[in-house]
Structure 1
């Protein structure tokens, strides 16, 4: 009888990825059930089936776990298209952002709690800006800069202020519990208002 092949040893990378995924999903699930505040590293570890030591080996705090979970959720949702039509691209990107982030109650509750936590955690505030906000803001800024070059918006348009005009209402509604921008009609209305303010000057 031929020798049976020796069983393969467990793949540490695969095991680590499985544990990481369980931790991130659990963090969002617990935020949805209890709100961000009551969630603890101990609770995440217990439900994810890992040790607290494992979590602290990869992340310094609960906030860091939740931030990475949010970054994972936002990665496919906030991609910025470039079809040559700035209005269509803004509508598509904002619909994807709202559908991917704010339509999921796990994400909305986690994000609002995390932002509140940054008020007294400067390192977490820095990481939130560097990991979640700035990379996506830069995508939007790049797309608006191209529209400015192509004549789709005014040549003197302030890109940072334009971003605030576009995305400020989203976070205003989220953080002050005013209801989400949830319909395509509302998103298009917001984009149209901002683009009217940014419209190129008519030639004299």
Structure 2
């Protein structure tokens, strides 16, 4: 090989193997959190469950919090997408019911609640969680509200940001205290904030 030759490309199996390992780490973190809680969750345990080396994890993530944030981003993107198109009272009601189910029954919902709790007493967690997940998610949800108002699909009785907080806050609170989130609560909130049932 001459000095001018380009370096050997990575084997074709590399990216697939890396993606498989990444997903294995995210699933392992999710499962171990559900089984043992945040305090018992360690990089060593995640590596062992995922079948990867600790060095592999540390190459991609600086901490277990960052792994959990990636897990939450991936899972909520798939399982709790922001409604596309012009929002209506009905589509926002459906989104909020899905959010309630996400908080109550989905392992990723537990990740969200754990990170919210951890962020209350750990500044680094709070900063990263807000920058990577809460901020972008809220921006997308607020955009949904504004699109609904602009398109005439909804007419909230308060400012869009206040409407969003009023709709989401009680659901998160009930999940944090371990209470059920009945559809009737979602319906009452939607009817109060967004107007008559649609």
Task: Give TM class, smaller chain.
Answer: 0.7 to 0.9
Within-5 A mapping of 1:178-197: 179-181=179-181, 183-196=182-195
Name which of structure 1's ranges 67-76 and 136-145 shifts more when overlaid on structure 2: 136-145
- Per-residue CA deviation, residues 33-76 of structure 1 (Å, 9 max, x unaligned), is 11122111111011111111111110110111111111111002
TM value normalised by structure 1: 0.80
Unaligned runs of 5+ in 2: 1-10
Matched residue, 1:135: 136
Alignment size in residue pairs: 186
Deviation at 1:101, TM superposition (A): 4.6
Distance, in Å, in 2 between the alignment partners of 1:82 and 1:109 is 25
Aligned partners of 1:121, 1:15: CA distance in 2, in Å? 34
Moved more, 58-67 or 132-141: 132-141
TM-score norm. by structure 2 comes to: 0.82
Q: Aligned-pair distance for 1:18? A: 0.5
Deviation, structure 1 residue 82 = 4.8
The 8 Å contact of residues 103 and 172 in structure 2, kept in 1 or not, is answered as no
Preserved contact between residue 97 and residue 186 of structure 2 (Cα < 8 Å):
yes
Counterpart in the other structure of 1:97: 99
Gaps of 5+ in 1: 1-8, 198-204
- Map residues 37-76 of structure 1 onto 2, 5 A cutoff: 37-76=39-78
Shift of the alpha carbon at 1:23?
0.4
Q: How many Å apart are 1:168 and its aligned residue?
A: 0.2
* 1:4-153 alignment runs, 5 A limit: 9=11, 11-82=13-84, 84=86, 86-104=88-106, 106-151=107-152, 152-153=154-155
